[in-house]
Amino acid sequence: MIGTFQAIIETAKQAAAKKRVAAPWVTKEHIEILSEAAAANLIIPIMIGKGQDIEDAVKQTPLASLQYEILDEKDSDGALARAVQMVKAHDADILMQGGVSQKTFIDSVVNGNEGLLTSKRASFVSIFQLLKRDKLILATDTFINNIPTLPEKQVILENALVLAGILEMESPKVAALASIEQVNPAIPSTLDAAILSKMSQRRQFGDVVVEGPLDIDCALDKNAAERKGLSSVVTGNVDIYLTPDIDVGYLLAQLLVFIGKMQMIGTVMGTSVPLIVDLPFVSRDNKVAEIALAALIHQRGARHG
């Protein structure tokens, strides 16, 4: 099992060929990050935007002596459209948000007709590195889907399980979160969690254990769960936290980073190529690990998708 961000980087480096990253409308900061990833032997950047400005910025980084490509485009919309077409045509392996807005980027790539969806729904998976153990935990959906229905939660979970396979998690343990640990017909999230748990019991997700509904207390602490009458291999040993809606998911990610001081990277799942999205709670220091994750997903995706 891959247990640290550094292990993600080292594993991604083992690929025979470096991955090509299409990055539209890049800023100086993006170029510096791409330079670090290229120097780590992970990627070949393809930067799309105002060519001379990009070239001037590249000259100030180690990327100047490495392999890269610059494509000239006069505006951000054209740069993004060109980047999307490149990954569709297999002229690039990974798509980076670059300097375009989050909404514009997400709307372009998850468009059912012209975007990059391969699953029924795209979802965002946050990956956290535990502070005292070499273990990664996943939380989803933490960015894209607002109030997912039960069928949508099933897809969100399946997307996360693909990533768990790429990260070599064996028999993933999933906590389907809700506000309480009892099934209450007045609280829809508890019903959804209970149904997903039953689906897991019938092996509809494969070698996976889904327990739910679980509140945070029971998910984190096996003793707390047992005091409430719950006995499960999931409690106290969760690999994937499945959140009931975006309010819980997005706030949970922010709390773990800003208050819990945990390190985070993330990715969009359910698309034909890995996507790198700029989120405020992914630190500058972890951007290369996030690029390495995208490279690893591309490298192993065909075997786990």
8 Å CB contact between 102 and 82 = no
- Residue 131's pLDDT band (boundaries 50, 70, 90)? confident
In tens, the pLDDT along 73-124 reads: 999 999 999 999 999 999 999 999 999 999 999 988 887 667 899 888 999 9
Q: Is the pTM of this model over 0.85?
A: yes
Which pLDDT score, from 0 to 100, does residue 280 have? 86
Tens-place pLDDT, residues 153-182: 999 999 999 999 999 999 999 999 999 999
Please tell me the number of Cα atoms within 13 Å of 212 on its side-chain side: 30
When pLDDT is averaged across residues 43-54 and rounded to a whole number, the result is 97
Q: How far apart are CA 300 and CA 305, in angstroms?
A: 9
Domain range 5-172+239-304, CATH architecture: 3-Layer(aba) Sandwich (3.40)
Tokens at 72, concatenated: 């000239």
pLDDT at 113: 67
CA–CA gap between residue 188 and residue 259 (Å, rounded): 29
How many C-beta atoms lie closer than 10 Å to residue 223's C-beta? 10
Domain range annotation of the chain: 5-172+239-304
Position with higher pLDDT, 131 vs 21:
21
Share of the chain above pLDDT 90, in %: 91
Q: Tell me phi and psi for residue 303, to 5 degrees.
A: -85, -20
Interhelix angle 28-39/51-58, rounded to 10 degrees, is 50
pLDDT above 70 (res 17): yes
| C-beta atoms surrounding 134 within 10 Å | 12
Query: How wide is the angle at C-alpha 189 spanned by C-alphas 272 and 253, nearest 5°?
Result: 55
Does the pLDDT of residue 127 top 80, yes or no? yes
